[in-house]
Chain A
Amino acid sequence: MNKRESVNDFVVRFANVNGSGSASANNLFARAIFRLGVPVSPKNIFPSNIQGLPTWYEVRINEHGFLGRRSGVDLAVAVNGQTLYQDYQEVLPGGYFLYDSTRELSEKFNRDDITVIGVPLTTLCNDEFKNPKLRQLLRNIIYVGALSFLLDLDFSILTESIEKQFRKKPKLGEPNIKALELGFAYAKEHHAGVCRLSVRKSKKLGDEILMDGNSALGLAAVYAGATVTGWYPITPSTSVVEAFERYSRQFRTEQDTGRNKVAILQAEDELAAIGIVIGASWNGARAFTATSGPGISLMSEFLGLAYFAEIPAVLVNVQRAGPSTGMPTRTQQADLLACAYASHGDTKNVLLFPCDPKECFDLGADAFDLAERLQTPVIVMLDLDLGMNDHICAPLVWDDSRKYDRGKVLSAAELDSRQEKWGRYLDIDGDGICYRTYPGTHPTKGAYVTRGTSHNEYAGYTEESPIYQAGMERLLVKWQTARSLMPPPRIKIRDTGFAVGVVFFGTTTHAAYEAISRMAEQGLEINSLRLRAFPFQDEVVEFINRHQMIFIIEQNRDGQLRTMLMTEIGVSPRRLQSILNFDGLPITADFITKKIQALLADEHQENLQVSQGGQA
């Protein structure tokens, strides 16, 4: 047998039972690798269930820094009886299978192309620890100890992590360290020299952090000065508001009174959640909510109101696999159309597409400035992979001289010093954005009734067609202004012949760059554009027009970004080829590479036929 051999480039997959406390053990493992300076990307693959169903934790270790998901398992840590055989089958030839040998494997486990590593986790654990509640947790820590030996993973990094975690309660840390030692010692005694995968300290990482996108967004909302949130629990967005709440507890308590400088309300549903946001924003507070697909559907009517009545609103959509309840714990990028055009009538909403936690923080904070500057909903589009998994990214930075851009809001003094009559929907600067007033500002000036019915420039109700139409057209002028304010796309040009270009966004980024670099090694240079916002800027149009072939890589079935590019910037459908991954798992570089190569081969074939006059 050819054993898989690698330093700092392999995939470990943990197979656990949901609700068995495996998360902390698995995190401990991933963070230890990160602390050794080795690029690592852990991904939770979990069911929509609280207890008892299978769950996996895939850790990709990659010295080159390719952090997208990679399919194929080099080392399985299988502690879930339900999926034991499946996990066994999925190990790549030459790979390793670590299992709890307290129970012996049955006869059907008869592959001769993998290395089986038995560690009697349950026996070791029960012999050592008496507390039944602790036992379940520590059993998982034992396999981390075993991995430390098998992968030559610096043991002290693990113990330091435990000590850091239990700094305040060192007594609780002790059994964890004991469990690590148990696993380490057992593996050393029984499996020395068996495993040829190893983790070696690296200089690849510098000051990076390891964080999940949802926490970064919740933190962004604190930094950007959000004070009101209404929300309704839904996976995978819940942890955005949980993070906001956690950081608010830390940073938003009034020193002298102990009162909160924030209002967080768990609403009765998503309609109320967005209603709360709109009411608060209308009244001059920064407000946001977070939800996922089903919530977006419910919020649609209100989003149209915010668009038409021109009220800022920040919404975070952590996308999951649809339609309907779909696969609630799997990832997808399938709400683009639903968000971009949420609500009836001619409605368009600004979208932002972060690709890692650092960008969740940056674009998340920018979303508040943009929403207030543009007086319109801004939707930050994450997905489950970005929101709920830890990602390595650059450290977060805040410019202390930064001022919140509250947009065009008139104070009482400004209302008084104004020469011309103020109109809530009167565009005096030509950018399509009008001046608003907060309730309670001035005794006699600046009051109006906000409404979703058609209105004239002075906010009065009207059904006069020319006035209605002029208002709708002004919203398009504002849309043009929005284009100029969007974060620009990231463009990388490798081929100045502009033969092949790819367009992608969000969590496709890592896999796409990996695929591009792989194809470059094979002699095919590909240019790329990472989209960061809707409406699309001129750079997007130029990039697409410049290339002979364009591939749009997305994680949905219907090529939603492609549809938007066709309708919004008028690119011919024939020029845009889709690469679509929609199985609910994060897209891989393998998948992208194969698709691009196949499509290019097809194209080549067609060209040949045409040039040979093959069509009768």
Chain B
Amino acid sequence: MSFDRPNFRHPKLAKNSAGYSRTDYEGAISTLCAGCGHDSTTNAIIQACFELSIVPHRVAKMSGIGCSSKTPAYFLGKSHGFNAVHGRMPSVATGANMANRELLYIGISGDGDTASIGMGQFAHALRRNLNLNYICMNNGCYGLTKGQDSATADKGSVGKRGAPNMYASIDLCELAIELGASYVARGFSGDKQQLVPLIKGAIAHNGLAFIDVISPCVTFNNTSTSTKSYEYVREHIEATNTFDFVPLQQEILAQYSEGASQEVVMHDGSIIHLHKANSSEDVTDRLQAVNKLELEKKRGRLLTGLLYVNPDIQETHDIINSTLRPLNTLTEADLCPGNSALQRINESLR
């Protein structure tokens, strides 16, 4: 069941530079379990879009199947959404993006949707560097089918079902880096402070931005023995950096000390300003990114933050050299060669 919110607007509600208030970015009321991490992630998306003054109806929300994939109904109610089939969000998003390169694409998936049934499509969307904000709401289990272990569940982790997971877990961030993703981050649904800028950076990025959001399932996988529970994540979280996201039009006000900060200029001219724990860190270095993930894993810590970014990469449309006009706006005059050309083809076939 879903509800419509009353369309009441408080006159004092703050508006962003595009003239929208935060409520303009909301969707239908969530039907997920109370306390579900996915709802917090949804809120972070709303916040990021609001703060970036995204024009709501110029966004397309794509998803697969799962509790996580239901969330596009709960944000950006003025945008079209596509709740596709299990594990296949990337291909539908690819087609949609090919048809109209001017919209902003937010793809929502779950860890089951991405790391198991959809592993192939995940890998290939990365490889093509599709201009898509790919958010995986990762709870280490299949929420919608009642809590089976997913492929991201840590070995030995025990959810509500009671049996420890016996298999190695897949680290989607590491994989994403290896498969050629150009923006890789990990967030935690319980840390909005960090998550919102991560999503903003993803939106500014031109290419595939992958964010693995640890997003606990309160119903099936929030036990003290689960490594994807609120409690465990809070205790083991380790941020690689914090950063400010500075949109194009805004001037940089803060002063940053040399060495411990890094500036990444995004495709659209906005800037990500990182404050790093270690001055020799470089988020544009793939090798370092993977090393750090492995290192923290060894220490039993869960590394979050912006892990890797390559702002100078070509996205799919650049690679295939497609027209800058959205393909879905082309008409007969642009597309159909006409009968005289056809008669020449006939002639060549005689």
The answer on a CB contact under 8 Å between B95 and A275 is yes
Closest to B91 in A: A275
B103, A277: Cβ atoms under 8 Å? no
Q: Are B92 and A444 in contact (CB under 8 A)?
A: no
User: B328 near A396 (CB under 8 angstroms)?
Assistant: no
B52 at the interface (CB under 8 A from A): no
Partner of B72, one of A267, A442, A449: A449
In the complex, the answer to whether B321 meets A259 with C-beta atoms within 8 Å is yes
A275 x B2 contact (CB < 8 A): no
Q: Contact flags (1/0) for B227-238 with A, using CB distance below 8 Å?
A: 000000000000
Question: Of all chain A residues, which has the CB nearest B82?
Answer: A450
Contacts A209-B349, A397-B339, A461-B2; A440 near B98 (Cβ below 8 A): no
Name the residue of chain B whose CB is nearest to the CB of A398. Answer: B339
A447 touches B99 (CB 8 A): no
- Interface stretch of the complex, out of A98-106, A281-289, A376-384: A281-289
- Contact present for B77 and A447 (CB under 8 Å): yes
**A541 in the interface (beta carbon within 8 A):** no
CB distance B80 to A259 under 8 Å?
no
A278 CB within 8 Å of chain B: yes
Q: Pick the most buried of A211, A267, A275, A453: most chain B CB atoms within 10 A of its CB.
A: A275
Judged by a CB distance under 8 angstroms, whether B163 is at the interface is no
Chain A residue numbers with a CB within 8 Å of B124 are: 267-268, 272
Least CB distance, A437 to chain B, in whole angstroms: 8
A152 in contact (CB, < 8 A): no
Q: Give the docked Cα–Cα distance between A451 and B324 (Å).
A: 29
Residues of B within 8 A of A282 (CB): 82, 92, 95-96, 99
Asked if A438 is at the interface (CB within 8 A of a chain B CB), the reply is: yes
Interface residues as binary, A227-254 with B (CB distance below 8 Å gives 1, 0 otherwise):
1101000000000000000000011101
Query: Which residues of chain B come closer than 8 Å to A279, judged between CB atoms?
Result: 62, 82, 84, 91-99
**Contact A263–B327 (Cβ < 8 Å):** yes
Instruction: List residues 195-241 of chain A with CB under 8 A from any CB of chain B.
Output: 207-211, 219, 222-225, 227-228, 230
The proximity string for A residues 395-416 relative to B, scoring 1 for CB distances below 8 Å and 0 otherwise, is 1111110111000000000000
Within 8 A of A (CB), among B313-350: 316-317, 320-324, 327-328, 330-332, 334-339, 341-343, 345-346, 349-350
Q: Give, as a whole number of angstroms, the nearest-CB distance from B324 to chain A.
A: 7
B120 A268 Cβ-Cβ under 8 A: yes
Q: Kindly identify, within residues 32 to 90 of chain B, every residue whose CB is under 8 Å from any CB belonging to chain A.
A: 55-58, 60-62, 72-73, 77-85, 88, 90
What CA separation (Å) do A301 and B84 show in the bound complex? 10
Q: Which residues of B contact A118 (CB under 8 A)?
A: none
Q: Is the CB of B323 within 8 A of A450?
A: no
- B17 at the A interface (CB under 8 A): no
Q: In the complex, which residues of chain A have a beta carbon less than 8 angstroms from the beta carbon of B81?
A: 447-450
B100 at the interface (CB under 8 A from A): yes
A43 at the interface (CB under 8 A from B): no
Which of B61, B77, B335, B345 is in CB contact (< 8 Å) with A227?
B335
Which chain B residue has the least Cβ–Cβ distance from A276? Answer: B95
Contact of A222 among B337, B343, B346 (CB under 8 A): B337
Query: Does B350 contact A35, Cβ atoms closer than 8 Å?
Result: yes
A498 within 8 A of B: no
Q: A460 in the interface, Cβ–Cβ < 8 Å?
A: yes
Interface residues of B, count at CB 8 A: 64
Whole-angstrom CA separation of A441 from B100 in the bound complex: 12
For the complex formed, measure the closest distance between the CB of B319 and the CB atoms of chain A, giving whole angstroms.
10
Residue of A210, A222, A254, A260 touching B349 (CB-CB under 8 A): A210
Q: Is the CB of A280 within 8 A of B335?
A: no
Give chain A's interface residue range (CB within 8 Å of chain B): 35 or more
How far, in whole Å, are A261 and B23 apart by their CA atoms in the complex? 38
Shortest distance between the CB of B62 and any CB in chain A (Å) = 8
List of B residues within 8 angstroms of A224 by Cβ: 336
> Which residues of chain B are within 8 angstroms of A268 by Cβ–Cβ distance?
120-121, 123-124
Give the complex CA separation of A311 and B237 in angstroms. Answer: 43
Contacts of A437 in B (CB 8 A): 80
Query: Is B191 located at the chain interface by the 8 A CB criterion?
Result: no
B178 within 8 Å of A by Cβ?
Answer: no
Within 8 A of B (CB), among A409-455: 437-444, 447-453
CB-CB under 8 A from A402, the residues of chain B are 332
Contact B85 A277, beta carbon cutoff 8 Å: no
**Does B102 lie at the interface of the complex (its beta carbon under 8 Å from any beta carbon of A)?**
yes
B186 near A: Cβ within 8 Å? no
- Given the complex of chains A and B, what is the CA–CA distance between A262 and B335 in angstroms? 9
Contacts of A264 in B (CB 8 A): 320
Chain B residues near A338 (CB, 8 Å)? Answer: none
Chain B positions within 8 Å of A252 at CB level: 335
Chain B nearest CB from A242 CB (Å) reads: 16
- B57 A452 Cβ-Cβ under 8 A: no
- A614–B55 CA distance with the chains assembled, in angstroms: 84
Contact A439 B350 (CB under 8 A): no
A437 to B102, CA, bound (A): 16
Is B99 a contact of A285 with CB atoms below 8 Å? Answer: yes
Contact of A439 among B79, B128, B342 (CB under 8 A): B79
Q: Is A468 an interface residue (CB 8 A)?
A: no
State whether the Cβ of A257 lies closer than 8 Å to any Cβ in chain B. Answer: yes
List the B residue with the shortest CB-CB distance to A251.
B337
Contact A440 B338 (CB under 8 A): no
| Chain B hits for A219, CB < 8 A | 345
Known: A230-B95, A442-B57. A275 touches B84 (CB 8 A): yes
B254 to chain A, nearest CB (A): 35
Contact B95 A278 (CB under 8 A): yes
Instruction: Name the residue of chain B whose CB is nearest to the CB of A208.
Output: B350
In the complex, are the beta carbons of A448 and B100 less than 8 A apart? Answer: no
Given contacts A223-B337, A252-B335, A285-B99, contact A272 B72 (CB under 8 A): no
- Can you list 29 contacts pairing A with B, beta carbon distance less than 8 Å? A34-B350, A222-B336, A227-B98, A254-B323, A260-B320, A261-B327, A263-B98, A263-B320, A265-B94, A265-B98, A271-B88, A275-B84, A275-B88, A275-B91, A280-B96, A280-B327, A282-B95, A284-B328, A285-B99, A285-B100, A285-B328, A287-B95, A397-B342, A398-B336, A403-B332, A440-B60, A444-B78, A452-B85, A461-B73
- Other A-B pairs beyond A219-B345, A227-B98, 6, CB < 8 Å: A250-B337, A260-B321, A275-B91, A305-B85, A443-B78, A452-B84
Q: Shortest 7 CB-CB distances between A and B: which pairs?
A: A279-B95, A275-B91, A285-B99, A439-B80, A449-B81, A280-B95, A284-B328
